[in-house]
């Protein structure tokens, strides 16, 4: 059952992301991004993380996309400008970067079998992902990383 | 097999909830129109349907008015403006209604235990119930914003832009006032917050938060006096100018369902939800004489009744405010949200935190002290922060100058 829901949600997320990139209208793009973020919040639910689900909805769907829409609507900037793209190198660069990222993800997925959904769902402890646990992790174990964001990339 | 039965039960329950919310909307419009009639010294709709009583008296005059309205809206012409962005234009009403309906699953409407540890009257007892409510309310603005944009009409557009700015601004005060309640009760679960108000309702220690919540939730559902989104005098009809027929009805519906849902949330968070003095004693008495099942059913009916009664009281206040307070100006709206409500809500969070640390036991005296502090702060704020009028001075000019 989880696999079915996951597949549907993942397909919706991918469709949203692709449609956001290809649509020529900024408001449509923002709405497709909203679809994508909503689908990702459902994925958080599938991973037993209701807190992240709610926070994803509040922060991204509730605030950030509204701001996007607000600015686009206020400036009337929803139409693509005529003429050639002034920054010609950005599309090829983005494609290369995305390919690199996908390669990384696939590598991690293949070499780290613990990252699959099944292992996550069977190995969770009582109260996993509850606000209490997240707060404890954030404000005790990882307090140092929380306080100094530049250090979060250092290896443990 | 059992799995499919569970799904079927779930579907039926969802259908019941959706129908209940829609009926609530229909009768809330009648409630509001009759009350507005009373407030404005007229009668209000009283013609469509009545229950005849002996002696020529009529009971519940006008109780079929919502049905008549619905029929009228169904038979109106359904127009799509030629220059509108068709798909966005069509999904906007749905975007408005769905959050208004799904918000109800997070609210504990009462307490009807099914004997196996869950509650028939609370659809989704999730870990982060409060955050769910906040998330769904904040998503509710999309319907208005994209409707205004997709209509391709300047008035609608201004309405949509105003809506997004207003909702983002008041969300902060709303969230902070709820945060203080979460700190007071130490949980994110709505049913635990309701259960924690068994003895003292949260309105006593969190009076300040309650007032902030009432104001911010009125602004969040863009209702009068904060209805700049659809200010008729300036914007024709605002975001719904280009919408007719059932599409307009959906917007209308979402606005009212959201309003009642906000009042229901206020009841659950501040007014004790389904708690009411005497229910526990009565249910305990019935349990000893009639057994568990009947006791549970009676408890469910009574708590639901108490909940609806409190919601009705708050809804009455909403109508009262609408009838009494004129619409605010846009700068006043922003000033109220950012310069008054948000600092007050922050102060309340700090107050709750400090008192929670100094007196972790709580107790009646502390609660009453917090109530008094809240009331005093509101009083001081309303005096200090009241909009100031520029002093007018009249200069007397001597009449002899011209002579």
All residues of chain A having their beta carbon less than 8 Å from the beta carbon of residue B127 are: 50-51, 129-131
Reply yes or no on whether the pLDDT at A145 is more than 70: no
Cis peptide before B266 (omega within 30 of 0): no
User: Which pLDDT band holds residue B188 (cuts at 50, 70, 90)?
Assistant: confident
**What whole-number distance in Å separates Cα of residue A78 and Cα of residue A44?**
31
**What whole-number distance in Å separates Cα of residue B301 and Cα of residue B294?**
11
**Concatenated DSSP letters for B339-356?**
IIIHHHHHHHHHHHHHHH
Closest-CA residue of chain B to A32: B88
What are the distances in angstroms from CA B138 to CA A58, B45, B342, B388? 7, 34, 17, 32
Burial (0-12, 13-18, 19+ Cβ within 10 Å), A90:
exposed
All residues of chain A having their beta carbon less than 8 Å from the beta carbon of residue B161 are: 70, 73-74
Which domain does B322 fall in, by range? 2-33+64-384
- Domain annotation covers residue B132: yes
Task: Identify the weakest region by mean pLDDT among A67-81, A108-122, B156-170.
Answer: A108-122
Rounded to an integer, the average pLDDT of B148-162 is 84
All residues of chain A having their beta carbon less than 8 Å from the beta carbon of residue B139 are: 57, 61-62
All residues of chain A having their beta carbon less than 8 Å from the beta carbon of residue B106 are: none
- Domain annotation covers residue B58: no
Handedness of CA B236, B240, B241, B244 (dihedral sign): negative
User: Which pLDDT band holds residue A156 (cuts at 50, 70, 90)?
Assistant: very low
Cβ distance A54 to B131 less than 8 Å, yes or no, reads: yes
* Residues B236/B291, Cβ–Cβ less than 8 Å: no
Reply yes or no on whether the pLDDT at A153 is more than 50: no
What are the distances in angstroms from CA B240 to CA B78, B136, B157, B247, B316? 13, 21, 10, 9, 25
Beta strands in B115-258 (DSSP E): none
Name the more confident of B351 and A76. Answer: B351
**What whole-number distance in Å separates Cα of residue B395 and Cα of residue B176?**
48
* Residues B122/B280, Cβ–Cβ less than 8 Å: no
- Domain annotation covers residue B69: yes
All residues of chain B having their beta carbon less than 8 Å from the beta carbon of residue A66 are: 138, 141-142, 145, 164, 167-168
Q: What percentage of chain B has pLDDT greater than the value 90?
A: 6
Cβ distance A67 to B168 less than 8 Å, yes or no, reads: yes
Work out the number of other CB atoms within 10 angstroms of the CB of residue B154.
12
A20-24, A46-50, B171-175, range with greatest mean pLDDT = B171-175
User: Which pLDDT band holds residue A151 (cuts at 50, 70, 90)?
Assistant: very low
* Residues B347/B177, Cβ–Cβ less than 8 Å: no
Name the more confident of A114 and B35. Answer: B35
Instruction: Check residue A97 and give its pLDDT.
Output: 93
**What whole-number distance in Å separates Cα of residue B361 and Cα of residue B372?**
19
CA distance B122 to chain A (A): 18
Window A:44-103, CB contacts with B under 8 Å: 50-51, 53-55, 57-58, 61-63, 65-67, 69-70, 73-74, 78
- Domain annotation covers residue B344: yes
All residues of chain B having their beta carbon less than 8 Å from the beta carbon of residue A50 are: 126-128
Q: What percentage of chain A has pLDDT greater than the value 90?
A: 9
Reply yes or no on whether the pLDDT at B150 is more than 70: yes
Helix axes B245-270, B141-150, angle to 10 degrees: 160
At residue A43, φ and ψ (nearest 5 deg) are -60, -40
- Domain annotation covers residue B49: no
CA distance A51 to chain B (A): 6
Closest-CA residue of chain A to B132: A54
Rounded to an integer, the average pLDDT of B95-117 is 83
In sequence order, what are the residues at sequence separation of 6 or more whose Cβ sits closer than 8 angstroms to the Cβ of residue A107?
Answer: none
Rounded to an integer, the average pLDDT of B206-229 is 87
| Residue range A75-129, pLDDT digits in tens | 776 676 666 677 788 888 988 999 999 999 888 878 876 655 555 555 566 666 6
Domain count, chain B: 1
Reply yes or no on whether the pLDDT at B104 is more than 70: yes
Largest distance between two CA atoms of chain A: 58
Q: What percentage of chain B has pLDDT greater than the value 70?
A: 98
How far is C-alpha B58 from the geometric centre of its chain's CA atoms?
32
Task: Identify the weakest region by mean pLDDT among A52-66, A136-150, B244-258.
Answer: A136-150
Cβ distance A62 to B85 less than 8 Å, yes or no, reads: no
**Concatenated DSSP letters for B97-112?**
HHHHHHGGGGS-----
CA distance A128 to chain B (A): 11
**Which of A54, A61, A66 has the CB atom closest to B128's CB atom?**
A54
Handedness of CA B237, B238, B244, B250 (dihedral sign): negative
Taken in order of first residue, the domains within chain A and their CATH numbers are 1-79 (1.20.120.1200)
All residues of chain B having their beta carbon less than 8 Å from the beta carbon of residue A42 are: none
- Domain annotation covers residue B70: yes
> Would an 8 Å CB–CB cutoff place B170 in contact with chain A?
no
CA distance B252 to chain A (A): 21
Burial (0-12, 13-18, 19+ Cβ within 10 Å), B17:
middle
- The H helix count followed by the E strand count for chain B is 15, 2
Cβ distance A50 to B171 less than 8 Å, yes or no, reads: no
Alpha helices in B277-360 (DSSP H): 279-290, 292-324, 330-334, 342-358
Instruction: Check residue A155 and give its pLDDT.
Output: 39
* Residues B110/B274, Cβ–Cβ less than 8 Å: yes
Rounded to an integer, the average pLDDT of A18-29 is 85
Rounded to an integer, the average pLDDT of B255-259 is 89
All residues of chain B having their beta carbon less than 8 Å from the beta carbon of residue A31 are: 88, 146
CA distance B143 to chain A (A): 11
Average pLDDT, chain B: 84
* Residues A52/A7, Cβ–Cβ less than 8 Å: no
Residue B59 pairs in a beta bridge with B51
Count residue pairs from A and B with Cβ separation < 8 A: 75
């Amino acid at each position: 059952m989880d696999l079915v829901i996951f597949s549907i949600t993942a397909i919706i997320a991918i469709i949203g992301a692709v449609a956001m990139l290809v649509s020529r209208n900024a408001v449509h793009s923002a709405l497709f991004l909203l679809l994508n973020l909503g689908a990702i919040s459902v994925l958080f639910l599938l991973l037993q993380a209701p807190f992240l689900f709610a926070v994803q909805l509040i922060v991204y769907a509730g605030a950030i996309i509204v701001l996007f829409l607000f600015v686009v609507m206020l400036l009337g900037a929803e139409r693509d400008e005529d003429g050639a793209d002034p920054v010609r190198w950005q599309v090829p660069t983005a494609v290369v970067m995305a390919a690199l990222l996908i390669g990384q993800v696939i590598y991690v997925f293949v070499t780290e079998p613990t990252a699959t959904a099944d292992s996550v769902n069977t190995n969770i402890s009582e109260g996993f992902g509850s606000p209490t646990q997240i707060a404890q992790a954030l404000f005790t174990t990882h307090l140092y990383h929380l306080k100094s964001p530049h250090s979060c990339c250092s290896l443990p | 097999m059992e799995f499919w039965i569970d799904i079927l039960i779930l579907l039926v329950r969802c259908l019941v909830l959706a129908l209940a919310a829609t009926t609530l909307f229909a009768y809330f419009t009648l409630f509001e129109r009759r009350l507005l009639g009373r407030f404005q010294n007229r009668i209000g709709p009283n013609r469509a349907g009545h229950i005849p009583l002996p002696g020529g008296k009529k009971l519940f005059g006008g109780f079929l008015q919502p049905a008549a309205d619905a029929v009228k809206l169904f038979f109106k012409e359904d127009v799509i403006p030629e220059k509108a962005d068709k798909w966005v234009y069509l999904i906007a009403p749905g975007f408005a209604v769905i959050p208004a309906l799904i918000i109800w699953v997070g609210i504990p409407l009462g307490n009807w235990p099914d004997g196996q540890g869950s509650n028939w009257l609370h659809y989704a007892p999730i870990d982060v119930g409060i955050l769910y409510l906040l998330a769904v309310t904040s998503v509710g603005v999309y319907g208005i914003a994209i409707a205004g944009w997709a209509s391709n009409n300047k008035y609608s557009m201004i309405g949509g832009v105003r809506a997004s700015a207003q909702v983002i601004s008041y969300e902060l005060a709303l969230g902070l006032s709820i945060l203080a309640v979460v700190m007071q009760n130490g949980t994110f679960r709505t049913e635990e917050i309701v259960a924690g108000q068994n003895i003292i309702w949260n309105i006593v220690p969190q009076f300040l938060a309650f007032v902030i919540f009432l104001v911010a939730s009125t602004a969040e559902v863009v209702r009068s006096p904060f209805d700049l989104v659809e200010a008729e005098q300036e914007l024709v009809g605002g975001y719904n100018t280009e919408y007719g027929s059932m599409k307009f009805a959906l917007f209308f519906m979402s606005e009212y369902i959201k309003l009642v849902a906000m009042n229901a949330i206020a009841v659950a968070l501040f007014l004790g939800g389904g708690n009411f003095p005497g229910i526990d004693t009565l249910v305990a008495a019935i349990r000893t004489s009639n057994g568990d099942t009947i006791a549970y059913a009676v408890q469910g009916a009574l708590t639901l009744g108490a909940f609806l009664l409190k919601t009705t009281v708050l809804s009455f206040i909403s109508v009262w405010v609408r009838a009494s307070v004129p619409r605010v100006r846009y700068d006043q709206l922003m000033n109220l949200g950012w310069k008054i409500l948000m600092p007050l809500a922050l102060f309340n969070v700090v107050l709750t935190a400090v008192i929670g640390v100094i007196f972790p036991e709580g107790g009646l005296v502390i609660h009453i002290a917090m109530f008094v502090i809240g009331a005093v702060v509101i009083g001081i704020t309303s005096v200090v922060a009241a909009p100031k009028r520029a002093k007018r001075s009249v200069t007397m000019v001597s009449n002899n100058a011209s002579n």
